[in-house]
Amino acid sequence: MIKKICCIGAGYVGGPTMAVIAQKCPNIQVTVVDLNEKRIAAWNDVNVENIPIYEPGLSEIVAESRGRNLFFSTDVDKAIAEADMIFISVNTPTKTYGSGKGLAADLKHIELCARQIARVATTNKIVVEKSTLPVRTAEAIKSILHNTGNGVEFQILSNPEFLAEGTAVADLLNPDRVLIGGDQDAKGQEAVQALVDIYANWVPKEKILTTNVWSSELSKLVANAFLAQRVSSINAISELCEKTGANVNEVSKAIGMDSRIGPKFLKASVGFGGSCFQKDILNLVYIAQSYGLQEVADYWEQVIIMNNHQKRRFSKNIVTTLYNTVADKKIAFLGWAFKKDTNDTRESAAIYVADDLLNEQAKIAVYDPKVGQDQVYADMNYLESRSPEANKKGITVMLDPYEACKDAHAIAIMTEWDEFITYDWKKIYQNMNKPAFVFDGRNILDKNELEKIGFKYQAIGS
């Protein structure tokens, strides 16, 4: 029986996942730890609305369990020492140095966790890989843990997380499936069962899949690759639609009604973002390459190439349409997060489109309901395309969308926030430079309505 859980990493996965486990398993003490003191302080903020991650429904769940059986702490050693089960939920970004640079997953945080667990543990532990990891990572973790020589026994499970940001709580409460990979021997299966028992508190048994460790690790990368592939597939068709007079929304609907294809993830857009799709596909490409499977690697790499093309094509079209120059013209960005209902901006298309437009000397005004100016500047500075001063000069971040659009030559819809649809578009139009353009990077606005007002409206793929 698991009594105490520790989760290393209080991010977009660790935070919501543990909040739901704590809510559904009131008899288990769940401690989420992180090295980032600011992040932990925010999780512990007396005002639960100030928790560091915005997800619909999350603050309510945290409020219910925090202080009862859900704790956030920076004391990683203590939480490891006390726990029966340890989830590793740290970040695994693309490597930016050395061999595999730009493709492979950087596993330094994972290895540090394994070493810390090895150092601190004095009782047997089940270690759960919650982070998305290259296939066969469990081998490395095992090797570090099993060589401590202190007699402690470890079981390693793979339990990748399939939640989507923006719907994390709903996905966790009602997952399509929970995947648990473990060793096939008796002790491995005992550990698998301990984790199955936790999820079985709220997930129907038939949705809890158990596999070997390698299938579980690989399935997560493959799931993200397939999802991203659908986005790139429909985006590739969007460009063809623009040339042929077909309308990508109509094409999506027509093909999505085929039950073999299905309707989800077929919306054309300025491109996918987020911390996972790109890094996980690059990782898949790297793994394929490292086994000498060049055709497999090239096949999946094309998903990324298409996504980059779609972002570039969007910014290029803005420049071309605005009479081949945006120098000193104000362009308003509605949305900065990589998708609606999250404050996560990692790899957001907005960052790359802004970068292109700043290179053309545009002036950008950003409004996002959940992203503030510090984050916008941090994202731009991270690119290192220009100095922080130049980014500050080129971009202003506004607290009011109507102010952001005032005197703009064009508006670019970068995130599909619902509130954008209900804005007073007549009022926005009145205060803009004419002709007033809308470039709808998420295909959420009504073309007829906007054109009736006087806007020059362009969607993706029509």
Ligand X SMILES: NC(=O)c1ccc[n+]([C@@H]2O[C@H](COP(=O)([O-])OP(=O)(O)OC[C@H]3O[C@@H](n4cnc5c(N)ncnc54)[C@H](O)[C@@H]3O)[C@@H](O)[C@H]2O)c1
> Based on CB atoms, which residue is closest to ligand X, 220 or 442?
220
> Based on CB atoms, which residue is closest to ligand X, 90 or 228?
90
Q: Looking at 69, 95, 120, 165, which residue binds ligand X (CB under 6 A)? A: 165
Catalytic pick from 24, 95, 130, 220?
A: 220
Q: How far apart are CA 155 and CA 84, in angstroms?
A: 11
5 bridge partner residues:
30, 85
- Shortest Cβ 43–ligand X spacing (Å): 10
**Considering the rule CB under 6 A, would residue 159 count as an interface residue with ligand X?**
no
Give backbone dihedrals phi and psi of 358, rounded to 5 degrees, phi first.
-65, -35
- Shortest Cβ 220–ligand X spacing (Å): 7
Helix ranges (DSSP H) in 292-372: 294-321, 349-359
> Based on CB atoms, which residue is closest to ligand X, 43 or 425?
43
Q: What is the DSSP string of 242-311?
A: HHHT--HHHHHHHHHTSTTT-STT----S---SSSHHHHHHHHHHHHHHTT-HHHHHHHHHHHHHHHHHH
Number of residue whose CB is nearest ligand X: 11
Q: Is 241 known to be catalytic?
A: no
Site string for ligand X, 227-266 (x = CB under 6 A): ----------------------------------------
* Of the candidates 309, 332, 310, 323, the residue with the CA atom closest to the CA atom of residue 439: 332
State the number of CA atoms in the 13 A half-sphere of 35 facing the CB.
Answer: 7
> Based on CB atoms, which residue is closest to ligand X, 39 or 363?
39
> Based on CB atoms, which residue is closest to ligand X, 129 or 242?
129
> Based on CB atoms, which residue is closest to ligand X, 120 or 436?
120
Q: Looking at 131, 137, 343, 462, which residue binds ligand X (CB under 6 A)? A: 131
- Shortest Cβ 180–ligand X spacing (Å): 15
Q: Is 6 known to be catalytic?
A: no
Q: How far apart are CA 167 and CA 228, in angstroms?
A: 17
- What residues numbered 5-64 form the site for ligand X, per CB under 6 A? 8-14, 33-36, 39
- Shortest Cβ 131–ligand X spacing (Å): 3
- Shortest Cβ 330–ligand X spacing (Å): 33
Give backbone dihedrals phi and psi of 156, rounded to 5 degrees, phi first.
-110, 125
Q: Which residue has the tokens 């003490």?
A: 29
Query: Are the C-beta atoms of 114 and 36 separated by less than 8 Å?
Result: no
> Based on CB atoms, which residue is closest to ligand X, 107 or 410?
107
Give backbone dihedrals phi and psi of 385, rounded to 5 degrees, phi first.
-80, -25
- Shortest Cβ 438–ligand X spacing (Å): 29
- Shortest Cβ 172–ligand X spacing (Å): 11
29 bridge partner residues:
4
Q: How far apart are CA 140 and CA 11, in angstroms?
A: 23
Q: For ligand X, which stretch binds (CB under 6 A), given 106-114, 383-391, 427-435, 451-459?
A: 106-114
- How many amino acids of this chain bind ligand X (CB under 6 A)? 27
Query: Are the C-beta atoms of 8 and 33 separated by less than 8 Å?
Result: yes
Q: Is 220 known to be catalytic?
A: yes
> Based on CB atoms, which residue is closest to ligand X, 109 or 309?
109
Torsion of CA 383, 387, 389, 391, to 10 degrees: -30
Catalytic pick from 6, 113, 276, 405?
A: 276
Catalytic pick from 55, 129, 161, 301?
A: 161
Sign of the dihedral defined by the CA atoms of residues 160, 163, 168, 169, in that order: negative
Q: Looking at 31, 89, 235, 348, which residue binds ligand X (CB under 6 A)? A: 89
**Considering the rule CB under 6 A, would residue 144 count as an interface residue with ligand X?**
no
Sign of the dihedral defined by the CA atoms of residues 309, 314, 318, 321, in that order: positive
Site string for ligand X, 262-281 (x = CB under 6 A): -------------xx-----
Query: Are the C-beta atoms of 12 and 81 separated by less than 8 Å?
Result: no
**Considering the rule CB under 6 A, would residue 109 count as an interface residue with ligand X?**
yes
Q: Looking at 92, 137, 232, 345, which residue binds ligand X (CB under 6 A)? A: 92
Query: Cis omega (within 30 of 0) on the bond before 435?
Result: yes
> Based on CB atoms, which residue is closest to ligand X, 252 or 278?
278
125-129: strand order across its sheet: 70-73, 29-33, 4-8, 85-88, 125-129, 154-158, 178-181, 208-211
Residue 204 in tokens: 């129907």
For ligand X, the binding residues (CB under 6 A) are 8-14, 33-36, 39, 76, 89-92, 109, 112-113, 131-132, 161, 163, 165, 275-276
Catalytic residue list: 161, 220, 276
